[in-house]
């Protein structure tokens, strides 16, 4: 199936006033209709920058310096601002990480959903209200008629997130980018949100890019996975293939930090050993290693890793990893 969204060799930099520093360096991703791509990695790896680049919402001083973002045959990087306003919320929508900052505090729930429909679909006020009510029912908000008149501060965190999903779905977009959509929610509400997204996806064939640091969420939701580290995609492939056969030390490290995803005998002794950890931190902007970016934190790193950038190595059907040592993964805990 042809991808509905294809990001190819995306490069993004930030102007510090002295120089332009790399933020994303050659990220490539594909989304197909009705499927979910999980984009994982620690904070600072470039997940949200990839999303904001796609939406045309990069902060000041950040700019795309190379690559392409193709939505249904249209290059978004070549689109004028007016065209991007037409596409955002219509063909492509985003569920932001924190609904209290993304929702307008002085507008009712009805107004925030209805204005998207009025803008992109030309509906009248009464028609837009009916669609807003339909969306609240779709996202399973209790007493939806009453919630139309509510303001964001009057809703729980789970309800606010459902309102964000309702806004994102109001125009039946082809692509939804969900940036850490359950970070601030308790486990029960997280499960409800994921179930809701799956049900709505089945009904609409929407492609979802799920941005998260949680491989457990990816195991539950995603069909494909892309692992980002320090502005690069270090591993990508089908979710079952990557979780059963991780071929990059960073992916192995992330899995060791997630109890239910630990491999083999490690799972049986997890309670005794405790969770794994990846030593060190993601390097800050301007301090990315010139060869393998993960080498300073990697147990397999040798002289070549510190001297030469690794190649993209096939690791299975549609599965690849950016590493010199894909044949030594069993040595990584």
pLDDT in tens, 50-77: 999 999 999 999 999 999 999 999 999 9
Q: What pLDDT band is residue 12 in, cutting at 50, 70 and 90?
A: very high
Q: What pLDDT band is residue 102 in, cutting at 50, 70 and 90?
A: confident
Reported as type and span, the H/E element at residue 282 is: none
Exposed (0-12), middle (13-18) or buried (19+): which is 222, by Cβ within 10 Å? Answer: buried
Q: What pLDDT band is residue 275 in, cutting at 50, 70 and 90?
A: low
pLDDT in the model for residue 260: 62
pLDDT in the model for residue 242: 93
Question: Does 332 have pLDDT greater than 80?
Answer: no
Percent pLDDT > 70 in the chain is 94
pLDDT in the model for residue 158: 85
Q: What pLDDT band is residue 48 in, cutting at 50, 70 and 90?
A: very high
Phi, psi at residue 133, to the nearest 5°? -65, -40
* Per-residue model confidence as pLDDT tens digits over 151-168: 999 998 889 988 998 999
Question: Does 265 have pLDDT greater than 60?
Answer: no
pLDDT in the model for residue 81: 94
Q: What pLDDT band is residue 90 in, cutting at 50, 70 and 90?
A: very high
Q: Work out the average pLDDT over 252-276.
A: 64
63 torsion bin: left (phi>0), alpha (psi -120 to 50), beta (else): beta
pLDDT in the model for residue 270: 47
**What is d(CA 313, CA 156) in angstroms, rounded to the nearest whole number?**
46
**Contacts with 83 (C-beta within 8 Å, 6 or more apart), sequence order:** none
DSSP 3-state assignment of 262? Answer: coil
Q: Point out the least confidently predicted range of 86-90, 142-146, 183-187, 234-238.
A: 183-187
Question: Does 96 have pLDDT greater than 90?
Answer: no
pLDDT in the model for residue 99: 79
Q: Work out the average pLDDT over 29-41.
A: 96
Q: Point out the least confidently predicted range of 81-95, 105-119, 194-208.
A: 194-208
Q: Work out the average pLDDT over 23-29.
A: 96
* Per-residue model confidence as pLDDT tens digits over 291-313: 999 999 999 999 999 999 999 99
Going from the C-alpha of 13 to that of each of 50, 60, 65, 232, the distances in angstroms are 12, 11, 7, 13
**What is d(CA 323, CA 307) in angstroms, rounded to the nearest whole number?**
13
CA atoms within 13 Å, Cβ hemisphere of 274: 1
Domain ranges of the chain: 5-228, 248-331
Contact indicator for 235, 318 with CB cutoff of 8 Å: no
pLDDT in the model for residue 296: 95
Q: What pLDDT band is residue 181 in, cutting at 50, 70 and 90?
A: confident
* Per-residue model confidence as pLDDT tens digits over 235-263: 999 999 999 999 999 999 998 887 765 55
Beta bridge partners of 27: 10
- Structure token digits, residue 271: 């309670």
CATH of domain 5-228: 3.40.50.300
Contact indicator for 315, 244 with CB cutoff of 8 Å: no
- Structure token digits, residue 250: 């960073």
**What is d(CA 190, CA 140) in angstroms, rounded to the nearest whole number?**
14
Contact indicator for 312, 321 with CB cutoff of 8 Å: yes
Reported as type and span, the H/E element at residue 175 is: strand 175-179
pLDDT in the model for residue 202: 87
Percent pLDDT > 90 in the chain is 64
Question: Does 189 have pLDDT greater than 60?
Answer: yes
């Amino acid at each position: 199936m042809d991808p509905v969204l294809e990001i190819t060799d995306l490069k993004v930099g930030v102007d510090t006033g002295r120089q332009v520093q790399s933020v994303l360096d050659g990220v490539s991703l594909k989304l197909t209709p009705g499927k979910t791509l999980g984009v994982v990695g620690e904070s600072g790896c470039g997940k949200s920058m990839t999303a904001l680049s796609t939406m045309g919402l990069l902060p000041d001083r950040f700019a795309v310096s190379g690559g392409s973002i193709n939505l249904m045959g249209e290059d978004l990087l070549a689109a004028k601002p007016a065209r991007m306003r037409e596409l955002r919320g219509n063909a492509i929508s985003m569920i932001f990480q924190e609904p209290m900052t993304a929702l307008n505090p002085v507008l009712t729930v009805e107004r925030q959903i209805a204005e998207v429909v009025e803008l992109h679909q030309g509906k009248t006020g009464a028609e837009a209200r009916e669609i807003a009510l339909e969306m609240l029912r779709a996202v399973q908000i209790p007493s939806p008629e009453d919630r139309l008149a509510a303001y964001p501060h009057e809703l729980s965190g789970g309800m606010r997130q459902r309102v964000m999903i309702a806004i994102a779905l109001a125009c039946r977009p082809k692509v939804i980018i969900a940036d850490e959509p359950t970070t601030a929610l308790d486990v029960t509400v997280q499960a409800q949100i994921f179930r809701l997204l799956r049900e709505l996806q089945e009904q609409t064939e929407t492609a979802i890019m799920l941005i998260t640091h949680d491989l457990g969420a990816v195991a539950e939701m995603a069909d494909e996975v892309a692992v980002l580290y320090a502005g690069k995609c270090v591993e990508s492939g089908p979710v079952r293939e990557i979780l059963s056969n991780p071929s990059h030390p960073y992916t192995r490290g992330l899995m060791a930090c997630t109890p239910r995803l630990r491999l083999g005998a490690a799972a049986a002794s997890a309670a005794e050993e405790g969770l794994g950890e990846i030593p060190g931190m993601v390097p800050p902007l301007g301090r990315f290693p010139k060869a393998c970016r993960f080498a300073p934190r990697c147990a397999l790193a040798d002289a070549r890793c510190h001297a030469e950038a690794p190649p993209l190595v096939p690791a299975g059907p549609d599965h690849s990893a950016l590493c010199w040592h894909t044949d030594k993964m069993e040595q990584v805990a």
